């Protein structure tokens, strides 16, 4: 069960990474389209950044799409490359307007209406693609570079008395807004991380509450819940359902003779062997002590007895650390009027019948053909 949990977690992470890759591919594709449209309808014609560098950035973003599509880089490295290319484009264009394109008063509408919103989107993107700490560092660096570009661009105009107070006030407001955005996104990212940690902790606690620590199997609590669900489905859809209880024979003697560590080894290996011969749809649980419960949905009594026999044989045919270990199985099927206690109790009674008959055998409540003779 522990291995299944790890496999499920790994599969979920892979699905999440695949979704993020698809999202980045779509976003980068939109970016390429916007850049190429801006280049195609560019005015004025003497805007060298737009004329010569936009096609370069379109090519870089297209290359990143290819990298993501072909899975040529790990996602964290690809995210860093996306941030570097996008940051170079946005901040480079911002620097061009501040230092080359013309006076601030003439550029104000373009800066406030377009490029500073791109800076804000870049700050948010840093937290989306990077973790909180690296996102904060990247966002602060973006804000610092933006402020330096504004200061160095406006400085000469201020000295010459060419920059209006209104334009300078707008630049200050924009950067205060960006600072507030950085603080807000940092706080949201912190809450996101806390929520993530709380969910992970809750999942771990739930896993611990439902897992037997010695074997990694479902424990009695988890088995009860699973059996209740399967009983409801069997009752509603009139599907077969069978239950088996296995008890390791003379387990106290094993503990007394070989020690409790050897007893733990026997229980772990028995759990492994039972899991190996059952199906993915079956649940093997540690019911308590040296007892195991096997729940087999969509399985009638004959099939369940065969399954129990496979488990018995898997355990009995090879010793565990030179210790001969056998088990007795009680098998029963679900009936429409059964509750959990009556179903498990009937399997338990068959188990004790098997103990009374000499152990190391499968006993079913309706004596199907699969019931095995003594080993």
pLDDT of 87-145, one tens digit each?
A: 999 999 888 888 887 787 777 776 766 788 889 999 999 988 888 888 999 999 999 99
175 lies in the same domain as 286: no
pLDDT band, very low/low/confident/very high, at 256 (cuts 50, 70, 90)? very high
Q: For the chain, give the percent of residues with pLDDT over 90.
A: 60
41 lies in the same domain as 129: yes
Residue 3 above 60 pLDDT? no
Stronger pLDDT, 8 or 260, i.e. the higher one: 260
181 lies in the same domain as 225: no
164 lies in the same domain as 225: no
83 lies in the same domain as 226: no
Residue 374 above 50 pLDDT? no
Residue 373 above 60 pLDDT? no
146 lies in the same domain as 243: no
Q: Evaluate whether residue 206 is within a structural domain.
A: no
60 lies in the same domain as 112: yes
Which of these ranges, 147-161, 175-189, 245-259, 346-360, has the smallest mean pLDDT?
147-161
What is the distance between the alpha carbons of residues 98 and 108, in angstroms, rounded to a whole number?
Answer: 10
Per-residue model confidence (pLDDT) at position 4: 52
Stronger pLDDT, 213 or 7, i.e. the higher one: 213
**What's the per-residue H, E or C state across the chain?**
CHHHHHHHHHHHHHHHHHHHHHHHHHHHHHHHHHHHHHHHCCCCCCCHHHHHHHHHHHHHHHHHHHHHHHCCCCHHHHHHHHHHHHHHHHHHHHHHHHHHHCCHHHHHHHHHHHHHHHHHHHHHHHHHHCCHHHHHHHHHHHHHHHHHHHHHHHHHHHHHCCCCHHHHHHHHHHHHHHHHHHHHHHHHHHHHHHHHHHHHHHHHHHHHHHECCCCCCECHHHHHHHHHHHHHHHHHHCCCEEEEEEEECCHHHHHHHHCHHHHHHHHHHHHHHHHHHCCCCCEEEEEECCEEEEEEECCCHHHHHHHHHHHHHHHHCCCECCECCCEEEEEEECCCCCCHHHHHHHHHHHHHHHHHCCCCCEEECCCCCCCCCCC
Looking at residues 173-198, what average pLDDT do you find? 87
Q: 36: domain range? A: 2-186
Per-residue model confidence (pLDDT) at position 101: 79
Closest to 138 (Cα-Cα) out of 94, 206, 185, 208: 185
Residue 253 above 90 pLDDT? yes
pTM for the predicted model, two decimal places: 0.60
Q: Which two tokens stand for residue 40?
A: 């195609």
Per-residue model confidence (pLDDT) at position 7: 56
Q: For the chain, give the percent of residues with pLDDT over 70.
A: 92
Per-residue model confidence (pLDDT) at position 218: 92
CB–CB of 122/90 below 8 Å?
Answer: yes
What is the distance between the alpha carbons of residues 315 and 271, in angstroms, rounded to a whole number?
Answer: 10
Q: How many domains does the chain have?
A: 2
31 lies in the same domain as 74: yes
Q: How far is CA 321 from the centre of its chain?
A: 37
Q: Evaluate whether residue 272 is within a structural domain.
A: yes
Residue 368 above 50 pLDDT? no
* CATH at residue 284: 3.30.70.270
173 lies in the same domain as 266: no
Q: Evaluate whether residue 194 is within a structural domain.
A: no
């Amino acid at each position: 069960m522990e291995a299944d949990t790890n496999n499920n977690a790994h599969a979920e992470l892979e699905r999440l990474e695949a979704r993020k890759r698809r999202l980045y591919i779509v976003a980068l594709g939109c970016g390429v389209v916007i850049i190429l449209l801006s280049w195609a309808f560019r005015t004025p014609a003497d805007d060298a950044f737009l004329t010569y560098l936009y096609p370069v950035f379109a090519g870089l973003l297209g290359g990143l799409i290819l990298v993501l599509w072909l899975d040529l880089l790990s996602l964290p490295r690809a995210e860093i490359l996306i941030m570097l290319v996008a940051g170079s484009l946005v901040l480079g264009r911002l620097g061009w307007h501040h230092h080359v394109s013309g006076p601030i008063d003439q550029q104000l509408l373009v800066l406030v209406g377009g490029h500073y919103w791109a800076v804000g989107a870049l700050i948010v993107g840093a937290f989306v693609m990077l973790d909180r700490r690296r996102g904060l560092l990247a966002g602060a660096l973006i804000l610092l570079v933006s402020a330096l570009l504004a200061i160095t661009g406006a400085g000469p105009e201020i000295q010459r008395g060419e920059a209006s107070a209104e334009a300078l006030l707008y630049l200050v407001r924009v950067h205060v807004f960006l600072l507030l955005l950085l603080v807000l996104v940092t706080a949201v990212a912190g809450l996101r991380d806390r929520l993530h940690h709380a969910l992970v902790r809750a999942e771990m606690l739930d896993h611990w509450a439902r897992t037997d620590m010695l074997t990694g199997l479902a424990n009695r609590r988890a088995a009860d819940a699973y059996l209740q669900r399967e009983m409801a489905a069997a009752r509603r859809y009139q599907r077969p359902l069978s239950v088996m209880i296995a008890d390791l024979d003379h387990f106290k003697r094993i503990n007394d003779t070989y020690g409790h560590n050897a007893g733990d080894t026997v229980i772990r290996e028995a759990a492994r062997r039972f899991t190996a011969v059952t199906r993915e749809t079956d649940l093997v649980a540690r019911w308590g002590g040296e007892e195991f419960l096997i729940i087999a949905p969509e399985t009638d009594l004959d099939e369940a007895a065969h399954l129990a026999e496979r488990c018995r044989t898997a355990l009995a045919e090879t010793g565990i650390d030179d210790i001969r270990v056998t088990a007795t199985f009680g098998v029963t099927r679900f009936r429409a009027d059964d509750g959990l206690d009556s179903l498990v109790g009937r399997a338990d009674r068959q188990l004790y019948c098997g103990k009374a008959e000499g152990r190391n055998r499968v006993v079913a409540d309706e004596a199907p053909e699969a019931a095995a003779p003594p080993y």
